[in-house]
Amino acid sequence: MTMKLTSVGLCVLCLSILGHSGAILAAERKTPTAPEDTLKMKNPVPLTPEVLQEATTIYKDKCIKCHGATGNGKGSGTKGMDVKPRDYTDKSVMDKIPDGQLFWITLNGSDPDTTEMEGYKKKLTEEQVWKLVHYIRSFAQ
């Protein structure tokens, strides 16, 4: 009898959890902000076809899985992800993000609690990251 009651209790608990699924807790984007001096930085790498070409290769190797071939933030690696990468094709969003912020997030990563964006400071040079910033900007143009 005790076990049946316990089973019923556990089932009720299970159903309660299911019931709460109506009020899904959508994770919020909490992107860290770069330090003030980095935010003010302008891209020191001149924009040339060669720079874009190199950045394209880096993007395909390191970024496309999550950020997608078109930069819309819906790459195959984001399947089921609650907080998806930024949509680089959205001009209204990208216009509000300074170069320094893109540079700093690429080097240091975004919010580790809600995103999978890790820092690339061990894998890429600062010059390569600035080239990537040019390429990222090209999606919204």
Partner 1 sequence: MRLRVLLGAVLLSVAVSGVLAIVAPKTAEAIPAFSRQTEKSCSTCHNAIPKLNQVGQNFRTNGFRFPEDKEWQDVQDLKHTPLSARLALAGEFNKEDGSAQSSKLKIEDFKVHAATPLGKTGKFSGYAIATFVEKSVTLGQAYGQINDLIGEVGHGLLNLKAGTFDVALPFLSHSQRVITQRYFAQEALGILGARNRGTIGDVSEATEFYNTALELNGQIVGSEAGDITHRYAIGLYQPQGLNDQNRLGDPGLYATYAVNFLEHYTLGLIYKHDVVNSTLDPFTPNDKKGVNKWGVAGEAKLGPFITTVGYFRSDGLPNTAGVFLGNDTNRALQNYMAEVLFIPNRLWVFGARFDHIDQELAQSGSRTTVMGRYNITPSVYCQAEWRVTDSGNIGGTPAPDSLNGRVYLVTPF
Q: What is the residue whose two structure tokens read 């699924």?
A: 21
Binding site for partner 1 (CB under 8 A): 3-4, 6-7, 10-11, 13-14, 17-18, 20-21, 24-27, 60-65, 68-69, 72, 74-82, 84, 112-113, 116, 118, 122-123
Q: Which of 90, 114, 135 is nearest to 32 (CA)?
A: 114
Q: What is the residue whose two structure tokens read 């709460």?
A: 20
Least Å distance between CB 37 and partner 1?
26
Least Å distance between CB 66 and partner 1?
8
Q: Which is nearer to partner 1, 73 or 100 (CB)?
A: 73
Q: Which is nearer to partner 1, 48 or 53 (CB)?
A: 53
Q: Which is nearer to partner 1, 39 or 114 (CB)?
A: 114
Least Å distance between CB 16 and partner 1?
9
Q: Which is nearer to partner 1, 61 or 127 (CB)?
A: 61
CB count within 10 Å of CB 129 equals 22
Q: Which of 59, 50, 67, 43 is nearest to 127 (CA)?
A: 43
Report angle CA 47, 100, 77 to the nearest 5 degrees.
85
Least Å distance between CB 48 and partner 1?
24
Q: Which of 54, 63, 58, 43 is nearest to 104 (CA)?
A: 43
